[in-house]
Structure formats: structure tokens, C-alpha cells
Structure 1
Amino acid sequence: MHPYESLPARSFWRSAVAEADPTHLPGLWTPAFSLGQDDPILTAGSSFAAHIGPALLAEGMKWYDAEPAPPGLTEEERRDRHYGRFSFRTGDISTAAALRQWLTWAFPEEVPPEERAEPTEVWSGNGRHHDPFRPAVEPGGYATPDAVRDARRTTLAAIRDGVTRASCLIFTLGVTEAWRDRASGLTYPVCPGTVRGTFDAGRHVFHNFTFPEVHRDLSAAVAVARRVNPGLRVLLTVSPVPLTATATGGHVLTASTYSTSVLRAVAGQLAQELDDVGYFPSYEIVTGFPFGGTSFGPNPRSVTPAGVALVMSHLLTGLGVPTGPRREPRTTVVPPPPVPARTATREEFRCDDAVLDYYHRSPVPLAR
């Protein structure tokens, strides 16, 4: 007898992948903890994470919208202003550093003084003002810099409320590439000058986070949240969406592989190190070999509605939620429509990273 003789079918490629139905791979995910339909669940992260809240609601789970839209807004206005996209109106949080940053601002008493960095910067232009740390959230901008800061305080209050009350945080890691402020060390969600703002080469610096840095920031973020809510469970996922563009100077394909590899490794490591931290394989379900890239649109970058549905069915099945006829949601939320494959429409500009495709220039044909 040797160990391989007693392994289950999910441990072998032939039985678990080659001969299995790719729409349902038994044993692909075993949750590290259980969640009931009355457990408040927070969602945050990269643009792909915007699909999770509506899917949970549609199946009767208690997705917690800590910052609901005010009355009187149309459906389109709620979408444009990022209401109902995540549990908080932070916009995309694609890096572990940005998650740690938001939690540090929300719970300053839980963070050592030397790590506190209160954001005061406001981007202004054409008589309007924008938040550098969520530049796409209010498309028309704010009337005054103080209005920017007031809106940010509202979101920080929502984070405090949500993290304190929640049973679980589902966080989707997006990228390792980021732009930072040289003086303060603060991390921006996008490069200044793309969505909003003005790029300053002397001030704005590119940074590609390493495994130790992502591990440090994500561990610290979990620690801050658990100091105010010791029972908070965390489910980590990695976005299957590749980079729109890379600032490394290398090829975008290898840059995407590096980014995803680091994030996937960190998520797996923390799931092993910390109690009640799990990993859900959304990345593998979309990009894995047995799925043959069928979950991507023509670009191939945007995940199709069918691909999103496949990911959500695995998530809900693993949680023990029967995915059948739609039940009445616990609250109202407007699900984001799928991002178009090529053109930079209003919906595409709701995704911070996707806007970079707007700056693409067709390459010069290579000489033969």
C-alpha cells in the first residue's frame, strides 16, 4: 500500500478533469467554513467581484449592502455612482494594499500611529472635484473639495458598520500592479491621469507588489477587521480577468501570469495559515484547462454572463445553497451588466482597470 492507492477521485486528473463534466467538477471546492442564509456577507475587490453580491441575493443569501443608494436615483444613476456594486461605495479595490488602506482609514484606532495616513488629496478640474482613491465612483464629480471628503467619510462609516456586523467578507484580489504617491506611500486604484487627475512623474510612481508585500498587506487587513469583529470569516478569490495593460515594460501576457500567480499563491498561503480564511477557485473555473477558454468573450478578457453563472453556481453549491428558481432577494440591488468586448462604453468606465484599453494604440506592423 502507498498513499496514492487511497486517494479520492478528485485527486486524479483523469477522473477529476479529463472524464468529468466541466460544468460541474465534484470536489473542486470544499468550503473552509459554513455560511447560512441569515449570515450577513460583505463583498469587495476587483471588478469581477461586482457579480458576487447580486448572485448571492438572487439565491436568497443575505448580501449586506452597507451603503445603499439614496431614494430618487434612476437605475442608470445608481450604476454610474457604484451603488449596489460592492458592499461599500469604494469602487474597485484591486490590490491588497488598497484593502488595507481602506480598513486603516475606517478603523484608525486599531492601527499603530506610524501606519496611519489620512487621505486629504482631492483631484480638481473644470470646476469639479474627484476622490483620487475612487475616481470613477461619482462620474460628475463633486461641487467642492469638502464634498469629496464628506462622501469619503460616509463610505468609511459604511465600512465600519459592515465589518462590525458581517459574518463573512468575500474579497477578490485583482492585480499586483499599482501606482503610489511617492511622498505619502498611499496607493491609488488607477494611474493618475487615466480615469481622473493629472499624472506627475516626480510624484506618482509605479509599483508591482511582490509575494511578501501582498501577504503582508492582506494579513494586516484581515487583522484590522478581526480586531473589531473577531468572528469575521474571510473568503478569498482571485479575479480571472487578465490585465488590460501592464506598466512593467514587459509583455502583458507574462505580466498577467506574474500578477495572478502571486495573488493565487498568497490567497492559498493565508487559507493555510489563518483560521476561518478560505479560498474559492473562481480563477481556476474560468481559466482552467477543462473549460477551454469558453468563459471569455471575443477580446479574450471579459468574462461572459455564462462564465459568471458557472462561477456562481460552484460558489453557491459549495455553500450548500440550492440553485433553482429565483427566490425573493433580501434587499434591492442593481446587478452590473456585462462589460462590452472592445468599445469603451459607460459601463466599461465603471471598471477602473478596463479604462486603460481606451489608451491603446494599434501597433506598427512588424517588417517581414
Structure 2
Amino acid sequence: MNPYQSLPARAFWRSAVAEPDPLAIDDLWTPAFTIGQDDPVLTVGSCFAAHIGRALLERGMNWYDAEPAPPGLTEEERRARHYGVFSFRTGTVYTAAVLRQWLSWAFGRSTPPTEAWLEDGRYHDPFRPSVEPGGHASAEAMLAARGTTLAAIRDAVTEASCLVFTMGLTEAWRDRADGTVYSSCPGTVRGTFDPERHVFHAFTFEEVRRDLADAIALAREANPGLRVLLTVSPHPLTATATGAHVLTANTYSKSLLRTVAGQLTRDLDDVDYFPSYELVTGIPFRSRFYAPNLREVTPEGVDFVMRHFMTALSRSAAGPRPARADRPVAEPKGVDTCDDAVLDYYRPR
């Protein structure tokens, strides 16, 4: 008798991954807490977070839009100005450091810089350069607009039931003078790159873990009951400034983020991880959910991820499920020389 003899089929690679139809793979996530249909849910993070918020809204969940668009804008204008993309108009938040920074500014733990980037007579926010593509008439107007977003963050975090944060990158650019983290490298979306001032930083595991834990602590000071759901974006890096090949840099970055997410789910109460990353990048799916550029997730992929999300939440709300009868599994073809291959002998039949 050994511990593997009592494990369910989902614990074994062949019966849980290799044998089933990929679209029928199930039971990847057991929610640590329930999210009711009326519970206000915030989404923030990398590009994939925008898909999650929209999908929640389409499925009748209470996605919290803390900064709704003013009347009179077309759908194209709303999207271009980042209305309805995330729960508040921070723009894309790729790193845990930037999430912590926004929360620190919103709740008065630190003071945001007052610098504005001037281009063609218009003023742009260095920390959300794509949010207002047309810019602002003055630096004061830019700071006032940012103030509106900071107020929206305060209100939303205080009232929300759950915060969904999609982790995207471990690479960022910082201001050498004060350590402020930019959402994108100056000189790319907006601004002018200054090699004396703008310095590249690749965050370590401990830095990401600390930044994310601090961000959660900041949010929970305002809302002690806030639950946090972490995900990792399946979108690969567009480019890397580490000097490594982008393929290996992407593997390192996503592995680190996934490990941080796993660690915090162990360390903190009411922090959970939803495997959107695995549902898109996993071996059995063979990149089927990627567009031809191998970066963007197709609508089919988003729908697949969200079906898993909603199904798991429904099961959680309904209580424990009865034991499932597992179908017989074919004997392996070929020989596996790895020592741990013997564990497959103990899978349920």
C-alpha cells in the first residue's frame, strides 16, 4: 500500500491529460472561495485581464466598472481611451510593482510624481501613456485626470468583493532617481528615453512576491474582506531587454509569476489562483488557442478559459460533487524509462 493508490484520476498525467480529448479536460480548479453573481468583481493587470472582465459581464456577473465612460462616446472612442477595459483607467498593469504603486498612491501611502510628457502641445501621463491617446491640454488637467482614477481605485477596492489580478511581466523600467516604475519603457508608447535616468529592472521572485503581498495588504487595509484571485497571462512577451532569447526569457518570466502566485495562495488567506495560463499554454492544447502571431489568444481560447471559470464557480456554489466513475484507460504504448513512470500503475482504472 502506498499514497498513490488512493489518488483520483485527475492526479495522473495519462488519465487526466494525455488520454482525454483536450476540450474535455476538466477539474483543473477548485475555487478556494465562492464568487456570487452579485458580488462586485474588479479586474486589473495585463492584457488578458481585459478579456476576463468582459467575459464576466457577458455571463451576468457583477464586473465592477469604477470609471464608466462619459455619455456621447462611440464604442471605438471608449476603447481607445481605456473606458471599460479594466475596472479603473490605470491602463495595463503588467507587474506586481505597478499594482502596488497604484494602490500606494490611491490610499495616500506615497505621492505620485507630477511630471508630464509634452508631445505636440499635448500632455501625457508617464504612468498610463496610452489611456488618453489625444493627451491633455495642460499638466494640471493630466494630474486631475489621474486624480479621478485614484479616487476610482479607492472606491472600487473599498466596495469590491473580489479582486482579479492578471500577472503579466517580470521586466520593467524604473526612474533611477526615485525608483518609480513605469508601465512601459519611456520612448515606446510615449515620452523620450533617457539612458541616464531610465533603468531596466528584471524583478526577482522575492521582489515580485513582496510587491504583490504588499499590494494585497494595502487593499485589505481598506477592505479587510477583500478576496483576491490571481491569474497569469498566457500572452508571451513581445520583447525582452534581458539580452536572452525571447523564448527563454518568456519561460523564465511566466514560471516566476506562476510560482509567486502559488506561493501566495499558500501563505495568505482568501487568495486563490485560477489556471488561465495552463488552459491556454498547456501541452494538450498544442497552441490551438493562439492567433497566427502566437501571442494573442483567440476568442475561442478566451471562451474556453471562461467556461472553466464559470463551471468551477457553479460547482463550488452547489457544494461537493459525487464521486465520478472513471473510464478505463488504455495501457501505454512504448516504454517510459523515467523512474516516476511507475506511478502510472496506481492510477484509478
**Same fold (TM > 0.5):** yes
Q: Secondary structure at the match of 2:130?
A: coil
The answer to whether structure 1 residue 163 and structure 2 residue 163 are counterparts is: no
CA contact (8 A) 1:24 1:314 kept: no
CA contact (8 A) 1:117 1:184 kept: no
In structure 2, the partner of 1:75 is 75
In 1, Cα distance between equivalents of 2:236 and 2:267: 27
Q: Write the letter of the residue equivalent to 2:122.
A: R
* Distance 1:24-1:162 versus aligned 2 partners, 3 A rule: farther
Q: Secondary structure at the match of 2:229?
A: strand
In structure 1, the partner of 2:66 is 66
| 1:116-138: CA deviation from partner (whole Å, max 9, x where unpaired) | 24221111111001001100000
CA contact (8 A) 1:117 1:186 kept: no
The answer to whether structure 1 residue 143 and structure 2 residue 137 are counterparts is: yes
In structure 2, the partner of 1:247 is 241
In structure 1, the partner of 2:100 is 100
In structure 1, the partner of 2:50 is 50
In 1, Cα distance between equivalents of 2:314 and 2:113: 41
In 1, Cα distance between equivalents of 2:233 and 2:176: 28
| 1:180-224: CA deviation from partner (whole Å, max 9, x where unpaired) | 000010000110000000000000000000000000000000000
* TM-score with structure 1 setting the length: 0.85
In 1, Cα distance between equivalents of 2:292 and 2:243: 25
In structure 2, the partner of 1:175 is 169
In structure 2, the partner of 1:3 is 3
Q: Write the letter of the residue equivalent to 2:24.
A: H
In 1, Cα distance between equivalents of 2:24 and 2:211: 34
* TM-score with structure 2 setting the length: 0.89
Q: Could you say what the CA RMSD is over the residues aligned between the two structures, in angstroms?
A: 1.1
In structure 2, the partner of 1:304 is 298
In structure 2, the partner of 1:41 is 41
Q: Write the letter of the residue equivalent to 2:309.
A: L
Taking the TM superposition and a 5 Å limit, the aligned residue runs for 1:116-127 are 116-127=110-121
Give the C-alpha shift of residue 171 in structure 1.
Answer: 0.3
Please identify the structure whose Cα radius of gyration is greater. Answer: 2
In 1, Cα distance between equivalents of 2:244 and 2:7: 41
Q: Write the letter of the residue equivalent to 1:277.
A: V
Q: Write the letter of the residue equivalent to 1:49.
A: A
**Count of matched residue pairs:** 316
Q: Secondary structure at the match of 1:300?
A: coil
In 2, Cα distance between equivalents of 1:164 and 1:321: 28
Give the C-alpha shift of residue 27 in structure 1.
Answer: 1.7
Gap runs ≥5 in structure 1: 323-368
Give the C-alpha shift of residue 321 in structure 1.
Answer: 7.9
Q: 1:278 aligns with which of 245, 256, 272?
A: 272
In 1, Cα distance between equivalents of 2:27 and 2:306: 15
Q: Secondary structure at the match of 2:247?
A: helix
CA contact (8 A) 1:173 1:239 kept: yes
In structure 1, the partner of 2:225 is 231
In 2, Cα distance between equivalents of 1:321 and 1:157: 36
In 2, Cα distance between equivalents of 1:313 and 1:251: 34
In structure 1, the partner of 2:194 is 200
